Structure 1
Amino acid sequence: MRYAGIDIGSRTIELVIVDDAGKIIGSLQAETGFDPMTRARKMIEELPYDYIMATGYGRNLFEIAFDTPTVTEIKAHAVGARFYFNEATTVLDIGGQDSKALSIHDNGKVKKFEMNDRCAAGTGKFMEIMARTLGFDIASFGGEALHFKKELKISSMCTVFAESEVTSLIAKGHSPQDIAMGLHKSVISRVAGMIKRVSGEGNIVFTGGVAHNQCMQKLLADKLDRQVLVPDDPQLVGALGAALLARDTA
């Protein structure tokens, strides 16, 4: 049997197919765009499956369009994180336009969670805008920040005001690398507070596109003095969790 999980986020859609053993046998990723259901339809037509479960912001639209079961992002990420790391106790997911932190019981169930979905501050979109303002592409943003020489503090986390503050710092002659590190530290301070409110100890599984950023990984580990674990494909964790739940409930 082939079990599918589709994570319809605000910026991207991920589709994962697993077999009876839970092994990933196929995956796709695409931009959500202005018509997510049309995009989702093309994706599921490309990869055949027997059962499917949806998660993410667009899961209810998918349920209506395709008459499929759904699962919350929180539960899907807990299951996906535990698949990669059996010892996972805490998950931090930073997506395109939201972030979430959750703690997991020994039995794999979610213990506590917190979400920031009302503001783009500290999300993937925020990081992309800041990288572009500094003349970096998002893939090199974290690496450039690690080459900083001077500590700078970014006081605003609102995307609009932060962009203005960054422009002002550039005009004052501060290096892009120093500003980049200041931005990274501001984001880490924000998400570290979320993590502390849901879990005070144990490892942290870092998921979402921002988890690729090595500077974020390092700062998070240093800030909380905890081990940070990053899956091979951190953006697929939610879809993987949904696929595994589709298998378990089929």
Structure 2
Amino acid sequence: MNRIAPLFIAHGAPTLAIELDHAMNKFLGNKLSKQYKGQDAPKAVVVFTAHWEDSIANNGVAITFHDANTVYDTIYDFYGFPDEMYTIKYPAKGAPQVAQRIEQLLNQNNIKSRREYKRGLDHGTWVVLQTLFPGAKIPVVQCSVDPRSSIETHYNIGKALAPLANEQVLVIGSGSTVHNLGRVNWGKKTPDAWAVEFDDWLVDRISKWNTEELFAYERFAPNARAAVPRSEHYVPLFVAMGMTHEEKTSKVIERFYDLGSLSYLSFSF
């Protein structure tokens, strides 16, 4: 099997699930999904989602250990949206052997982990997967992130999981590079300059694999505090990036903005 490149996917607002003409849905469903057909389909998808936070220092990376015959619950971790949002189901099943492999790789690299048997799929996972893999036929493992831990910590998690890319497993970091709901401009059709400037810096530093500045982005990046008020949407990017530590290759696969500053910058590594 060919290596399956890890991805960072910007999942945007939950309403992406019902906005079928949205540019991100068109990208996921009409372009990206075509890469995973037939023999190129992954045997499982692993998602590090911005919407599952757990302490790495205290508990380790949380990993869903759902049975291969058990359907995940669909979590509606949002409120105030149209009623149809709360009727969507993504009935994926677990991939316990892949979950065990994640656990093994993390433990081999002295990174703590814990098993989670009950948690369903949050919208950082199912909003992306329902378009990328409709029908929920590919099993899923969901993993937590920790905004209290460093960028380097998440990068090292990715380094530990690098073998998965050669084991027919697709790893996705689901979040957003610029995610400040207090700064969105409702109805605005053009991007805010400050958000573009931050993403420009990020694309440049990733292309140069400048981990020194990336790990200390708060000090080096323009508009860092505005772009990343909390890092839960930002850190999934570095899990995916860390998986390519040896090759140091990256590619921007999508980039545009909603509401002025909500970034859909996405990468393949």
> Which band: TM-score by shorter chain?
under 0.3
In our comparison, the structure showing a higher alpha carbon Rg is 1
TM-score of the aligned structures, taking structure 2 as reference length: 0.25
**Higher helix fraction (1 or 2):** 1
Q: Which has the higher contact order (CA 8 A, sep 6+)?
A: 2
Taking structure 1 as the reference length, the TM-score comes to 0.26
